[in-house]
Structure 1
Amino acid sequence: MAAMGGEARRRAILRWLGESGSPVPGGELAERSGVSRQAVARDVAVLRAAGHGIVATSRGYVLGAAGGRGRTRVFKVRHTRERLAEELRTVVDLGATVEDVIVNHRVYGVVRGRLGIASRRDVDRFMRSIESGRSAPLMEVTSGYHFHTVSAPDEETLDAVGHALDEAGFTAPILPYERDALAGE
């Protein structure tokens, strides 16, 4: 395939991400547009600078909350590894997306990992990665305490997510120093 011009390629990347129901790997975007993965990464940087909410996850690029997913809210939660899938399913079953995981480490500060988990299938894929034993969940470095940015189409869905997480015993109060750390990120 012949390489597209820069502007046409960036429009196509936005279209492909908008049409996809799951993350699109950089290699796939590169192949579709006839350029290198590095060129795609530069295009994504240009699109982000222009205000498009493209998020890089471990499985590829997605349009994040700033890209039209509606509202976001940060929830502080705590649980064991054994309840990780239950927590994620609680969110996605209500039609919301777990955009990231954040820990506020006393030594390293705020550490964020992009997730983009929007379905039970995404939860299952994530859990297989964790269970492979190659990496541990970030929450394990902070005794199970962590934060998630959750996106949803509206405030009512976010309220339902908060209620469901609370009912399941997952929520923890956000302390003033944590709020300041997250805001200063």
Structure 2
Amino acid sequence: MDGEERRKKIVQALHEKKDPISGSRFAEAFGVSRQVVVQDIALLRASGKQIFSTSKGYVLQEKDSATRVFKVIHSDDEVREELSAIVDLGGIIEDVFVYHRVYGVIRGPLNIRSRLDIEKYLQNIESGKSKLLKNTTSGYHYHTVTAASEEILDLIQEKLQERGFLAKLQDYEPVDFWKKEV
């Protein structure tokens, strides 16, 4: 099998299987090294395919990706765990925002796609004079999360629920920003 055919099969596999697929799994399936798979992924990205790396493997984000807003609450010590739960399942954390009763919605872009992005984000918070946005509203905050499918968002929602991070929407909160209420 030549490289072009292998890359077509990689895209096909990522399209059919919405869960992340590891580079090692691709390497084994095609009888090549993991480095060859990494190079294939780089070529696919260069050709415009939106393939993202997660700690569980590669995910193809198709143009018809799914988006959901999650309302969450947790301690400062649990930020890494919360963000990791999302990216490990293939989610992209687009932003963080709070709904303040006086100021309304206050939003900050994040674009967190990997554990490396999480570490950079936490280093920036820790090294600066800034505080986490969630602390302006007693820990309650929201994340807009994008994933390759609704099924992946469902898995993320289950994981956040399992960890006790999901929070109940209150009557005074606006609901028009939800793609799907949680």
- In the superposition, the TM-score normalised over structure 2's length comes to 0.62
The answer (yes or no) to whether the contact 1:110–1:181 under 8 Å persists in 2 is no
Any idea what the Cα deviations from partners look like across 1:12-64, whole Å, max 9, x if unmatched? xxx98x57879xxxxxxxxxxxxxxxxxxxxxxxxxxxxxxxxxxxxxxxxxx
| Higher fraction of helix | 1
Structure 1 pair 21–136 and aligned structure 2 pair: CA distance change class (3 A): farther
Q: CA deviation at 1:107?
A: 1.1
**Does 2:100 match 1:102?**
no
Other-structure match for 1:172: 167
Distance in 2, Cα, partners of 1:181 & 1:133: 33
- Select the residue among 158, 172, 179 that pairs with 2:153: 158
Secondary structure at 1:179's aligned position in 2? coil
Structure 2 CA distance for partners of 1:130 and 1:19, relative to 1, 3 Å: farther
> Residue 111 of structure 1 corresponds to which residue in structure 2?
106
What RMSD, in angstroms, separates the aligned Cα atoms of the two structures? Answer: 2.4
Q: Which amino acid aligns with 1:90?
A: A
Structure number, greater radius of gyration: 2
Counterpart Cα distance in 2 of 1:146 and 1:123 = 17
State the 1:180 CA deviation: 3.6
For structure 2, the residue ranges without an aligned partner over 5 or more in a row are: 1-44, 53-60
How far is 1:134 from its partner? Answer: 2.2
- Structure 1 consecutive aligned stretches of length 4 or more whose deviation exceeds 3 Å: 18-22, 179-183
3-state SS of 1:122 partner: helix
* TM-aligned CA distance change 1:182 to 1:155, over 3 Å: closer
**In 2 relative to 1, CA 19–154 (structure 1 residues): closer, same or farther, beyond 3 Å?**
closer
Q: TM-score, normalised by structure 1?
A: 0.61
SS state at 1:134 partner: coil
Task: Tell me the amino acid that sits aligned with residue 72 of structure 1.
Answer: T
Deviation at 1:104, TM superposition (A): 0.3
Greater length-normalized contact order (CA 8 Å, ≥ 6 residues apart): 2
Rounded to whole Å, the distance in 2 between the matches of 1:160 and 1:180 is 22
Structure-2 residue corresponding to 1:30: none
Distance 1:75 1:136, change over 3 A: same
SS of structure 1 residue aligned to 2:83: helix
Number of aligned residue pairs: give it.
125
- Aligned letter for 1:94? L
Alignment of 1:1-185 (within 5 A): 68=63, 70-180=65-175, 182=177
